[in-house]
Amino acid sequence: MKHYRIAVIPGDGIGKEVVPVALDVLQHTAEVFGDVTFNFTEFPWGCDFYQKYGMMMEEDGIEQLDKFDAILLGAVGDPRLVPDHISLWGLLIKIRRSMDQSLNIRPAKYFEGLASPLTAPKEFDIMVVRENSEGEYSEVGGRIHRGADEVAIQNAVFTRKATERAMRYGFQLASQRKGKLTSATKSNGIVHSMPFWDSVFDEVREEFPEIKANQNHIDALAAFFVSKPQEFDVIVASNLFGDILTDIGGAIMGSIGIAPAANLNITGEHPSMFEPVHGSAPDIYGKGIANPIGQIWTAKMMLDHLGEVNMGASLLQAIEETTAAGVKTSDIGGQASTKEVGKEINKRIKVLS
């Protein structure tokens, strides 16, 4: 029997609706498989907590989280209560950075029964490895003067360590999948960091001669995500390029409510954090209609990371069978509630032979 201690942060808005459903599915999956138990510890951090205590998480929050095997997070943000830059940097980004969650892994996959806007959706199954610690999202730079003379400088930071780490992880992932890797570049326009990115790509690909590797400029790649997504397997991208590509990934799947993500600490020194791509959706919060698939698929990524790949595979299959059966929330063209989708997924969890 294996025991996992999971820190759970439902956060704000629909995070509070989809996280309980995902926990229920995880609990049920553990019972069906019978060789694993989960111990969930919930933390009430988020914008309500900020209203009461003036901070997004407890002072020693990071130390508390450090004791767990993994962190499952819903969504953070309630712009009516707390400005977004305070809520996101005070909780989500604080955890990502303090726990050295250096890679952000986001799949995009075609499911039967999903309302993909592509007129002829071909079966696509892509994994984007997004560098999560530096790149274009850096705090280096500043602003000087005001008015007509104003100048803003924002520096992108690319280190050999982080670039190699992302590339190597991507190649390893490709070797466990379809054996294809695409590097997202823009070395025709960005003349320092992207040629560096390309040279690290060329070095690391030497270590993986069996992988079919190529590179595309990000603008072309964005178009290919729409015109021929079925041709990709693993994509390695910088922080900004990966962020944009994975939103397109969510869109071609049919709804942002489906897309999952993992923030990985690849050394194992600190726990990794699993969270859907979507936010707290204040426009639908409280109606019980949020799509729980993004959160449940996120839980599947957590299972894979913990080494419970059979449970993870069963979960994904149950999700696919549920959408194929037409049990869907309104964002993907159905009428089911958040809880109904969770119950239907539970019914389809089984030990795969």
Residues contributing to the site for Mg ion (CB under 5 A): 243
Q: Which stretch binds ligand NAI (CB under 6 A): 94-102, 241-249, 263-271, 277-285?
A: 277-285
Which of 31, 35, 63, 84 contacts ligand NAI by CB under 6 A?
84
For the CB of residue 340, give the shortest distance to ligand NAI in the complex, in Å: 14
Q: Cα 178 vs. chain centroid, distance in angstroms?
A: 20
Q: Which of residues 89-108 bind ligand NAI (CB under 6 A)?
A: 92
Other Cβ atoms less than 10 A from the Cβ of 79: the count is 13
Sign, CA torsion 336/92/158/172 = negative
- Return all residues near 192 (Cβ < 8 A) that are at least 6 apart: none
Minimum CB distance to ligand NAI, residue 134 (Å) = 19
Binding of residue 243 to ligand NAI (CB under 6 A):
no
101/291 with CB nearer ligand NAI: 291
Name the segment binding ligand NAI (CB under 6 A); options: 148-156, 159-167, 243-251, 271-279. Answer: 271-279
Q: Which is nearer to ligand NAI, 294 or 312 (CB)?
A: 294
3-class DSSP state of 280 = coil
Q: Which does 127 bind (CB under 5 to 8 A by kind): ligand NAI, Mg ion, none?
A: none
Min dist. Cβ of residue 18 to ligand NAI (A) = 6
Q: Where are the beta strands (DSSP E) in the chain?
A: 2-11, 36-42, 70-75, 103-109, 125-131, 141-144, 151-154, 180-185, 212-217, 234-237, 260-264, 272-276
φ and ψ at 309, to 5 degrees? -70, -30
Between 91 and 167, whose beta carbon lies closer to ligand NAI?
Answer: 91
| Residue least distant from Mg ion (Cβ) | 243
Residue that the structure tokens 């069978």 belong to: 321
Q: Is 14 in the site for ligand NAI (CB under 6 A)?
A: yes
281 binds ligand NAI (CB under 6 A): yes
According to CB under 6 A, which one of 30, 57, 273, 290 is a site residue for ligand NAI? 290
For CA atoms 75, 78, 83, 86, the dihedral sign is negative
Whether residue 114 contacts residue 332, with contact meaning beta carbons closer than 8 Å, is answered with yes
Number of residues that make up the chain = 353
Q: Does 280 bind ligand NAI (CB under 6 A)?
A: yes
Interface with ligand NAI includes 278 (CB under 6 A)?
Answer: yes
**In terms of Cα–Cα distance, which of 327, 318, 280 is closest to 300?**
318
- Tell me, what DSSP letter sits at residue 145? -
117 binds ligand NAI (CB under 6 A): no
**Which partner from the list ligand NAI, Mg ion, none does 14 bind, CB cut-off 5 to 8 Å by kind?**
ligand NAI
DSSP state of 70: E
Residue 171, both tokens? 């190649």
Pairwise CA distance, residues 156 & 194, whole Å: 10
For helices 160-176 and 193-206, angle between their N-to-C axes, nearest 10 degrees: 50
Of 58-66, 281-289, 297-305, 343-351, the window that binds ligand NAI (rule: CB under 6 A) is 281-289
Q: Is the distance from CB of 342 to CB of 24 less than 8 angstroms?
A: yes
| 118, interface contact from Mg ion, ligand NAI, none, CB < 5-8 Å by kind | none
Contacts with ligand NAI, residue ranges (CB under 6 A): 14, 75-77, 79, 84, 88, 92, 256-257, 275, 278-284, 290-291, 294, 331
